[in-house]
Amino acid sequence: MIGYIFRRILATVPVMGVVALFVFLMLRLSPGDPAAVIAGDYATAEDIVRIREQLGLNEPIFVQFVTWIGSLLQGDLGISIFTNLPVTTLIAQRLEPTIALTLSTIIFTVVVAVPLGTLAAWKSGSLIDRFVMLFSVGGFSIPVFVLGYIMIYFISMELRWLPVQGYKNIADGFWPFLRHIILPTLTLSVIFIALVSRMTRASVMEVLQEDYIRTARAKGQSELKVLLRHALRNAAVPIVTVIGLGIALLIGGVVVTESVFNVPGLGRLVLDAVLKRDYPIIQGLILLFSFVYILINLLIDLTYCFFDPRIKY
């Protein structure tokens, strides 16, 4: 196990290197000049040239990449072009809302989707099963921003149960924090719940056809014990896998959800940086998201052996 962990950690180094190269080239070779954006509409050609020299954009791409990698290895993600603040500082300022939204979405999804999918598999062909399948299709069909505006209209504007937009830190009080996080969490959870519940249903249905399930029932074990101890546990590996893969959906969904609900997290920071072509922020955030995604996949792989002792590393 220790050897496997060490090999997987080493394997992340070239992966992150490829991601860094891809992000750097993608931003540098895309149309548009950040120096012209910074200079404004009324800038002269001399102003643009001066700004390019200050930012080092007049250097060859290879020199820019080597300089950036050297700073990156020292923990320096660069300085924002527009705010002149370190990227690490900007990320630290926006980290809490994104972590809170992501964790609340994952917890809510697992609590709702796994029992829902298990129930649908147990009641295969019933109205409950059909409802879960209909919800799964609908969850993937409705874009996040559309669902967000629908919830804002009905829950916030019509019923006035929750705030329309904004975010409150946990330090400001748990109840204000909870009121502002519920609506974004519900919006972001719909796609994730649709994905996990459908996979849970399929996995549990397959396990329920096995001989040891019939044996457990023949021994007189309760249906709840059969579902939890035998069916769900043996179906856990694909469920955990799809939860890990769903993190990619969350990364994209966080950007849209934070924009709709005006949550000052990393998603909003990404959007603002893209609109302003702030290269250091975009590079730093994509690298951060890539590292988190790789780390989560590593943790998911390590959990397999706890659910299935036959898996050895």
How do residues 235-278 score in pLDDT, each as one tens digit?
777 888 888 777 767 777 787 888 888 888 888 888 888 877 77
> Residue 266's closest CA among 106, 99, 148?
99
Q: Whole-angstrom Cα distance, residue 44 to residue 41?
A: 9
Are 220 and 253 part of one and the same domain? yes
Same domain for 240 and 110: yes
Total domain count, the chain: 2
Coil/strand/helix, residue 224: helix
One domain, residues 60 and 152 = no
> Which pLDDT value is given to residue 70?
80
Q: Examine the domain organization and report whether 132 and 254 are in the same domain.
A: yes
- Asked if the structure places residue 82 within a domain, the reply is no
Is residue 89 over pLDDT 70?
Answer: yes
Question: End of a domain among 73, 98, 129?
Answer: 73
Has residue 80 been placed in a domain?
A: no
Alpha helix segments (H runs only) across 30-86 = 34-39, 45-55, 61-73
**150 and 205 co-located in one domain:** yes
Domain containing 233 equals 87-307
Report if residue 181 sits inside a domain.
yes
Residues 93 and 52 in one domain: no
Instruction: Indicate the pLDDT class of residue 53, thresholds 50, 70 and 90.
Output: confident
Residue 220 lies in a domain: yes
Confirm whether 19 is domain-assigned.
Answer: yes
162 with 155: CB under 8 angstroms? yes
**Residue 202 covered by a domain:** yes
Q: What is the pLDDT of residue 83?
A: 78
Asked if residue 168 and residue 66 are part of one domain, the reply reads no
Same domain, residue pair 108 and 236: yes
Residues 210 and 106 in one domain: yes
- The pTM score is 0.78
99 shares a domain with 42: no
- For residue 101, being part of any structural domain is answered with yes
The Cα–Cα gap between 47 and 139 comes to 50
How confident is the model at residue 285, as a pLDDT?
A: 85
Which among 73, 103, 130 is the end of a domain?
Answer: 73
Residues 50, 118 share a domain = no
Q: What 3-state class would DSSP assign to 164? A: coil
Question: Residue 8: what are its φ and ψ, rounded to 5°?
Answer: -70, -40
The number of beta carbons lying within 10 Å of the beta carbon of residue 191 is 24
Does 143 share its domain with 241?
yes
Banded pLDDT at 309 (limits 50, 70, 90): low
Q: Residue 101: which H helix or E strand, with range?
A: helix 87-122
CATH number at residue 111: 1.10.3720.10
